[in-house]
A and B are shown apart, each in its own frame.
Chain A
Amino acid sequence: MAMPRHLLLDAELPWADAAARREVLRMRQRGWGGGDIPAHRALRVSPVRPGKLVPAALLAIALLAAYLLLLGPVSHLWAGMLEFWRSAVDLPGRVSMVRYDFYGLLQFDVPSLSFGSGLPGSELWWGGLVFTLLLGLGSFAVPLTWLPLRYLLRLVAFFQAGAQLFFGLWPWAFPYDGSGYVHGMLIADLMLIALIPVLLGSTYFVLDFSLWRKALLALLTMLHMLVLVPLQYAVHAYVIHHLSLLFMPLMFFVFGLTVNVLVFISFYAWGVSWWHPLRVEDVRWARRQNGNGNGNGNGNDDGNGGSRGSAARPSLPVPSGGGLS
Chain B
Amino acid sequence: MAQERFASHLRTWLAPVGVILLVGGLLAAAVALSSAAPIPLGQHSPRPWYVLAMLIPLYAILLLVCVYLLRHYWFTLNRLHGTQRHPYLDIDTADWPEVTVLVPAHDEEPVIAAILSALLEVDYPPGRLHILPIDDRSRDRTGEIIDGFAARHPGIVVPFHRKKGEPGKAAALRDAMKLVTTDIALVFDADYMPGHGLIKQLVAPFFDPEVGAVMGRVVPHNVGQNLLTRLLDLERTGGYQVDQQARMNLKLVPQYGGTVGGVRCRALESVGGWRVDTLAEDTDATFRLLRGGWKTVYQNRSECYEQVPSTWPQRMRQVRRWARGHNEALWAHAGHLLVGPRTCFREKLDGWLLLNVYVMSPVLLLGWLLAMTLWYLGETRPGLIVILLVTSYSALGNFAIFFEVSAASYLDGSRARVRLLPLIMLGFLVGLFAISHETLLQILLPRRPGARVRWHKTEHPHTINHEGDE
Contact = CB atoms under 8 A, between A and B. Distances in A.
Interface string B411-424: 11111111111100
A100 interface: yes
Contact of B21 (A42, A103, A185, A202): A202
A146 B390 CA distance: 25
A11 B84 contact: yes
Contact of A155 (B21, B389, B429): B429
B217 A269 contact: no
B378 A175 contact: yes
A35 B316 CA distance: 48
A203 B375 contact: no
Interface string B80-102: 11111111011000000000000
A50 B13 CA distance: 13
Interface in A66-120: 100, 102-103
Given A45-B81, A45-B82, A102-B35, A269 B406 contact: yes
Contact of B412 (A41, A198, A262): A41
Contacts of A155: 429
Given A198-B25, A269-B419, A183 B38 contact: yes
A277 to B, nearest CB: 11
Interface residues of A, number: 80
A46 B81 contact: yes
Contacts of A123: none
Contacts of A48: 7, 10-11, 14, 81
A253 B80 CA distance: 34
Interface in B270-318: 300-301, 303, 305, 311-313, 316
A270 B303 CA distance: 27
Contacts of A195: 25, 29
B221 interface: yes
Nearest to A274: B415
Interface string A267-278: 011101111101
Interface in B369-405: 372, 375-378, 380, 382, 385-386, 389-390, 393, 402-403
Interface string A175-192: 111001101110110111
Nearest to B408: A41
A192 B89 CA distance: 45
Contacts of B390: 261
**Binding site secondary structure of chain A:** helix
A162 B372 contact: yes
Q: Tell me the dominant secondary structure on chain B's binding face.
A: helix
A138 to B, nearest CB: 17
Contact of A273 (B86, B375, B415, B433): B415
A188 B33 contact: yes
A11 B430 contact: no
Interface residues of B, number: 90
Given A273-B416, A324-B305, A202 B25 contact: yes
Given A48-B7, A324-B219, A177 B413 contact: no
B36 A191 contact: yes
A12 B219 CA distance: 26
Nearest to B403: A203
A164 to B, nearest CB: 12
A216 interface: no
B219 A323 contact: yes
Interface in A275-325: 275-276, 278-279, 303, 319, 321-325
B253 to A, nearest CB: 19
A2 B77 CA distance: 22
Interface string B33-51: 1011111111100000000
A247 to B, nearest CB: 14
B345 interface: no
A202 B82 CA distance: 16
A42 B80 contact: no
B207 interface: no
A198 B29 CA distance: 10
15 contacts: A9-B89, A45-B81, A48-B7, A103-B35, A159-B372, A162-B372, A180-B39, A184-B382, A202-B25, A203-B403, A207-B410, A262-B422, A265-B402, A269-B418, A323-B412
Given A188-B36, A249-B375, 20 more contacts: A11-B85, A43-B301, A45-B79, A50-B7, A145-B311, A147-B312, A151-B429, A155-B429, A175-B43, A180-B41, A187-B37, A195-B29, A206-B18, A252-B375, A262-B422, A265-B393, A269-B418, A273-B416, A273-B419, A278-B413
Interface of A: 2, 5, 9-12, 18, 40-46, 48-50, 53, 100, 102-103, 144-148, 151-152, 155, 159, 162, 166, 174-177, 180-181, 183-185, 187-188, 190-192, 194-195, 198-199, 202-203, 206-207, 249, 252-253, 257-258, 261-262, 265-266, 268-270, 272-276, 278-279, 303, 319, 321-325
